[in-house]
Structure 1
Amino acid sequence: MKKRNFTLRLGLILFALVLLAGCYSKKELVYLQDSEFNKEYPTSIKNRRPDYRVQVNDVLQIDVRNPDPTTTALFSKSSGNMVNGNVNPAYLYLSGYSVDDGGFISIPIVGKVKVDGLTVNEAETLVQTEIDKYLNNASVEVKLVSFKISVLGEVNNPGYHLIYNGQANILEALAMAGDITQFGSRDEVKLIRQTNDGSEVILLDLRDAGLMNSKYFFLLPNDVLYVEPSKEQVKRANLEPLGVVFSALTTLALFINAYVNLTQ
């Protein structure tokens, strides 16, 4: 009888451990939590997307237009290659102007123009000034086509994603990646950002509504988001081999109990 009680207790302990390993509270899963949010009126949060400055290895798409298409063609590469109604991203890179190690782009006839350190709007103004020296009534448009972000770790669709609208925030990036899985940590998401001096890493708490005030809420080209496994997931992973051991012990206890009953 005592052995049976021991076996039952051992099974109940194992069952309780499994339940505890899989428990999640709402507070651990909900994004942007703030006690000030309510149903009566909207909460205003002020933030400003940081101005991105062109860096070495960026790719710019330059579109030059004027009434004479033949003359315009001397300054512009093809503006895109349509595939099933969509622009082929690879073609945008191939037809764009890469920023070389010195921070210059090389435009036909105009020559080299230094754009490193400029915002995209400043680069557009500078290229417009240079083109005006050769064309009358020309219109210049400059876009950054190398805006790529990567989302890795505990998300449903990890990988890199291209941004076409000039800006993206963290929530949009997670949406592109299919959102964080139930096993992903929301309070310690790593943001890896490239700088002129190398890389910087910061931990972000997606549960905190104050994140929307942070300069890291909006992403910049080449940012990487890494979602770590949650502590509960780590505990669960650690419990798996422990569960095998408990299962083996339970089975052994049952065999011992059956053997004792047979020999009595």
Structure 2
Amino acid sequence: MKISNKILLLVFSIAFLSSCGSRKDIVYFQDTSNFETLVDDNAFEPKFKIDDEVSILISTTNPEASIPFNLFRGVAESGGTPDQVSYLVDKYGEIDFPVLGKVKVAGLSPDELRTLLRSKLEGTYLNDPIINIRLKNFRVTVLGAVNRPGTYLVLGERVTILEALGLAGDLNIQGKRQNIMVLRDFNGTKVTRRIDITSKEAFKNPMFYLTQNDVVYVEPSKSAIKTSSLDQRVTIGLSLVTFAITSVLLLTR
């Protein structure tokens, strides 16, 4: 092999090795030890926010007594069952509940709202009411360096950032795992915080459990940004060369 070819091969090898991500850049939860038990001291409890869509179903042993407290519209096309009307949390954090009128729900958890409604209904209107509450518009959005960015519907009452990233197909190899941003809305005020999922401290981060309408943004790594910039320069350069060659050919005809 000629010396020039050896030098060229060496240069390509160095460039390839330098572009490869290290274990420190890629592996999750690197500081956990074998058989370590992680305890969540701050148990997450979802809270209702402005613009939430809440489903509330009241039932008792006397079905007729609970009818005034449940709203339904028409008859569903699928099976002849009426569609239950959900409640929208207005800009004041309230819902307009049948018979009871305005009820403040913003900032309450489902259990707290259930307790509040039971205190207002039991004895005065109903005996032993069963109250089922469900948040219907629990969505999270995952953007950036993930395999399937988009907005995802959450069926349960809570979701972790790891589960949200799983819905989005996980981070791609160019995603920055140490500095994931979560954008959250608190009654019209936007707040952001970063979370490092390469560390076990992620489990203690307030953003580990997501709330409705959270936005998760995975920033691309520096190498990805450099590669993108290089690709753009190469594309522009090739376009200029093509334009120059075409111009010369046209002028020399």
TM range (shorter): 0.7 to 0.9
Residue 153 of structure 2 aligns with which residue?
162
Q: Do the aligned residues in 2 keep the contact of 1:103 with 1:115 (CA within 8 Å)?
A: yes
Q: Tell whether 2:3 aligns with 1:30.
A: no
SS of alignment partner, residue 65 of structure 2: helix
User: Structure 1 residue 233: deviation in Å?
Assistant: 1.1
Residue 49 of structure 1 aligns with which residue?
43
CA distance in 1: counterparts of 2:164 and 2:118, whole angstroms: 33
Unaligned runs of 5+ in 1: 85-90, 248-264
SS of alignment partner, residue 239 of structure 1: helix
User: Structure 1 residue 172: deviation in Å?
Assistant: 0.9
TM-score when scaled to structure 2?
A: 0.78
AA of the residue aligned to 2:179 = E
Q: Do the aligned residues in 2 keep the contact of 1:151 with 1:226 (CA within 8 Å)?
A: yes
Report the aligned-residue RMSD: 3.2
AA of the residue aligned to 2:142 = V
Could you say if the C-alpha distance between residues 82 and 202 of structure 1 is closer, same or farther in structure 2, counting changes exceeding 3 Å?
farther
Residue 130 of structure 1 aligns with which residue?
120
SS of alignment partner, residue 178 of structure 1: coil
Residue 150 of structure 1 aligns with which residue?
141
User: Structure 1 residue 192: deviation in Å?
Assistant: 0.7
User: Structure 1 residue 149: deviation in Å?
Assistant: 1.2
User: Structure 1 residue 100: deviation in Å?
Assistant: 1.2
Residue 245 of structure 2 aligns with which residue?
none
Q: Tell whether 2:181 aligns with 1:181.
A: no
Could you say if the C-alpha distance between residues 158 and 77 of structure 1 is closer, same or farther in structure 2, counting changes exceeding 3 Å?
farther
CA distance in 2: counterparts of 1:196 and 1:245, whole angstroms: 45
Instruction: Select the residue among 205, 226, 229 that pairs with 2:217.
Output: 226
SS of alignment partner, residue 117 of structure 2: helix
TM-score when scaled to structure 1?
A: 0.75
Instruction: Select the residue among 76, 79, 96 that pairs with 2:86.
Output: 96
AA of the residue aligned to 2:182 = L
User: Structure 1 residue 198: deviation in Å?
Assistant: 0.9
SS of alignment partner, residue 240 of structure 1: helix
Could you say if the C-alpha distance between residues 106 and 197 of structure 1 is closer, same or farther in structure 2, counting changes exceeding 3 Å?
closer
Give deviations 1:223-258, integer Å, cap 9, x for gaps. 1100111112112223335667999xxxxxxxxxxx
User: Structure 1 residue 72: deviation in Å?
Assistant: 2.3
Residue 59 of structure 1 aligns with which residue?
53
AA of the residue aligned to 1:116 = A
Give deviations 1:172-220, integer Å, cap 9, x for gaps. 1111111011121111111111123611112221111111122221112
Residue 260 of structure 1 aligns with which residue?
none
Could you say if the C-alpha distance between residues 246 and 37 of structure 1 is closer, same or farther in structure 2, counting changes exceeding 3 Å?
farther
Q: Do the aligned residues in 1 keep the contact of 2:46 with 2:157 (CA within 8 Å)?
A: no
Could you say if the C-alpha distance between residues 69 and 217 of structure 1 is closer, same or farther in structure 2, counting changes exceeding 3 Å?
same
Q: Tell whether 2:187 aligns with 1:191.
A: no
AA of the residue aligned to 2:150 = G
Give deviations 1:57-96, integer Å, cap 9, x for gaps. 11211010112323323211359x7989xxxxxx8xx831
SS of alignment partner, residue 173 of structure 2: coil
Identity of aligned residues (%): 31
Tell me the number of residue pairs that the alignment of Structure 1 and Structure 2 aligns: 232
Q: Do the aligned residues in 2 keep the contact of 1:21 with 1:236 (CA within 8 Å)?
A: no
AA of the residue aligned to 1:62 = I
CA distance in 2: counterparts of 1:241 and 1:103, whole angstroms: 48
Q: Do the aligned residues in 2 keep the contact of 1:21 with 1:232 (CA within 8 Å)?
A: no
Residue 72 of structure 1 aligns with which residue?
66
- Per chain length, whose mean CA-contact separation is higher, i.e. which structure has more relative contact order (CA < 8 Å, sep 6+)? 1
CA distance in 2: counterparts of 1:83 and 1:164, whole angstroms: 21
CA distance in 1: counterparts of 2:98 and 2:161, whole angstroms: 38
Unaligned runs of 5+ in 2: 239-253
Could you say if the C-alpha distance between residues 209 and 113 of structure 1 is closer, same or farther in structure 2, counting changes exceeding 3 Å?
same
Q: Do the aligned residues in 2 keep the contact of 1:14 with 1:246 (CA within 8 Å)?
A: no
AA of the residue aligned to 1:69 = P
Could you say if the C-alpha distance between residues 156 and 136 of structure 1 is closer, same or farther in structure 2, counting changes exceeding 3 Å?
same
Q: Do the aligned residues in 1 keep the contact of 2:94 with 2:103 (CA within 8 Å)?
A: yes
